[in-house]
Structure 1
Amino acid sequence: MQVIGLCRFSYPAIGGFQVEHDSIEERIAFLYAEARLEERFQLMEAIALPCLRAQTDQDFELIIVIGDSLPAHHVSRLRDLCADIPQITIHAEPPRRQRQVMKEILNAARRDPQAPCLQFRHDDDDAISVDFIERLRQTLQDCPGLVAKNKTLAVDFNRGYVAELGAAGIAATEIHRPYYVASLGMYVQGNCPLTIMNFAHEKILRFMPTVTISDAPMFVRSHNGYNDSRQKKVKPVPVTPIDDALAADFEARFALRQDDVRRIFAAKS
């Protein structure tokens, strides 16, 4: 079954952000600010890409959506970071309504629209467990009755970590968070045009059956200077530096390595 992931990298959508701007020009200026993009590239390199390289099931595709106005040197840097991950395609779009354009991209990526597929979203500052694709497939195989009776079905792995990354390394705390973007997958029946972008992730349970699995940490959610969801007043999540045992777990489960994090963030600090 085809597995399609979608990642937005500073795409200047019309709508789709909790931080509002008065014009698309202001949004582009905010998204493409050098300090912001530097942090996004650091996070992409340190946390979002290693877990994709290390997937135990390599049969998936990931579309990274960028704006067609992203400066050429940033496009080149992104292509270089992704060059050794053949599953990744970089797709440029002009500013458009976020949900509509993302739905179109996902449906266009289906090799056979008459066949079912699995879909997931991947934020450019988060990690998924290295066995996420494998476990997503397996969960659907474990639920033949639900799959047979429904056009769509969500799979939610709701254990993970909040983490902060920097030149000093990783600080983190474990959390349970249902229906978060990372480690949330969706089955779509053949001949069904719905996509994972039709639904707000925290509301997806209102529209289809969901299967929740809580047996192991399956995501790392980074908190950083430019989280869209954290630009307004939100309750802080305390984190503490990880010890050697947890650092080993992070490397094994998420391909997230202390030495790499320190090197990547120290380079521009």
Structure 2
Amino acid sequence: MQVIGLCRFSYPAIGGFQVEHETTEERERFLYTRDRMEERFRLFETVTLPGLRAQTEPDFDFLVVIGNSLPAADRDRLQDLTAGMPQVRIIAQPPKPHREAMKAILNAARRNPSEPCLQFRQDDDDAVSVDFVERLRTAARDCAGLLRRNRTVAIDYPRGFIAEMGADGISASEQVRNLITAALGMYVRGGCPASIMNFAHHKLGRFMPVVSFSDAPMWVRTHNRFNDSRGANASPVAVSPLTAEQEDEFRARFAIDADQVRQAFASS
């Protein structure tokens, strides 16, 4: 069964952001500011990509959507970072309505739309565990009867970490949060044109069955200066520096290396 992941990398969509802008040009100026782009690249390199590169099941597709206005130097840098990852395909698009554009990209990536597939979406500053794709496939097999009876089924892994990355390394807090974006998958029946982008992630349970596995931490969601989903009224999360043992856990579980984080953020 094909597994498809979708990641927006500073794509200037029309809509799809909680921080709004009056024009597309204003949004592009915000997204492409140098200090913001530097932070996105640091997080993408040290948090997002390592776990994807280390997946125990390497048979998946990962679509990285960028704006066709992304500065050439940034596009080259992104291509360099993902070189050697055959799963990655960088897709440049002009600004389009967010949800419709992402749905079209996901459906175009289905190699055989008459066959079922598994989909997930990932922010460019979050991580999934190194066995996420493997466990997603296992869940689909274990829930075969439920999948046969439904066009779509959400597969949720609610246990993970809120983390902050910096020159001192990683500070984190273990959490259990249902239906957040990170480590949330969805089964789509063959012939069904729906995608994981048809629905707001926190509302998936209104439209389909949700199967939840909370036995192991499966995601890291970073809090940083440019989180779109953290508004002024968001409750802060208290995080603590990782112990040496916890740093080892992050390396094993997410392929996130605290020393690499320290080095990447040393000059920020």
User: TM tier, shorter chain?
Assistant: over 0.9
| Alignment partner, residue 251 of structure 2 | 251
| Alignment partner, residue 19 of structure 1 | 19
Q: Which amino acid aligns with 1:18?
A: Q
Please list, as runs of the form range in 1=range in 2, the aligned pairs for 1:180-191 lying within 5 A after superposition. Answer: 180-191=180-191
1:175-198 C-alpha deviation (Å, 9 max, x unpaired): 000001111000000000000000
Residue 49 of structure 1: SS of its match in structure 2? Answer: helix
The CA deviation at 1:231 is 3.5
Residue 101 (structure 2) pairs with residue 93 (structure 1): no
For 2:232 and 2:60, the matched residues in 1 are separated by: 35
Residue 178 (structure 2) pairs with residue 207 (structure 1): no
For 2:264 and 2:87, the matched residues in 1 are separated by: 23
Residue 139 (structure 2) pairs with residue 139 (structure 1): yes
| Alignment partner, residue 104 of structure 1 | 104
1:60-96 C-alpha deviation (Å, 9 max, x unpaired): 0000000000000000000000002110000000000
For 2:7 and 2:127, the matched residues in 1 are separated by: 12
Which structure 1 segments of 5+ residues have no match?
Answer: none
For 1:39 and 1:68, the matched residues in 2 are separated by: 20
The CA deviation at 1:233 is 2.1
Runs of 4+ in structure 1 deviating by more than 4 angstroms, as ranges, are none
For 2:100 and 2:218, the matched residues in 1 are separated by: 29
| Alignment partner, residue 161 of structure 1 | 161
For 1:79 and 1:67, the matched residues in 2 are separated by: 14
1:34-57 C-alpha deviation (Å, 9 max, x unpaired): 010000000000100000011000
For 1:47 and 1:190, the matched residues in 2 are separated by: 33
Which structure 2 segments of 5+ residues have no match?
Answer: none
For 1:188 and 1:143, the matched residues in 2 are separated by: 13
CA-based RMSD of the aligned residues comes to 0.6
Aligned residues: 268
For 2:84 and 2:235, the matched residues in 1 are separated by: 38
Residue 5 of structure 1: SS of its match in structure 2? Answer: strand
Residue 66 of structure 2: SS of its match in structure 1? Answer: strand
| Alignment partner, residue 113 of structure 1 | 113
Q: Between the two proteins, what is the percent identity of the paired residues?
A: 59
| Alignment partner, residue 263 of structure 1 | 263
For 1:144 and 1:104, the matched residues in 2 are separated by: 27
Q: Which amino acid aligns with 1:128?
A: V
Residue 67 (structure 2) pairs with residue 67 (structure 1): yes
Please list, as runs of the form range in 1=range in 2, the aligned pairs for 1:201-240 lying within 5 A after superposition. Answer: 201-240=201-240
The CA deviation at 1:18 is 0.3
TM-score normalized with structure 2 length: 0.99
The CA deviation at 1:157 is 0.3
For 1:132 and 1:10, the matched residues in 2 are separated by: 24
| Alignment partner, residue 148 of structure 1 | 148
For 1:175 and 1:211, the matched residues in 2 are separated by: 18
Q: Which amino acid aligns with 1:234?
A: A
TM-score normalized with structure 1 length: 0.99
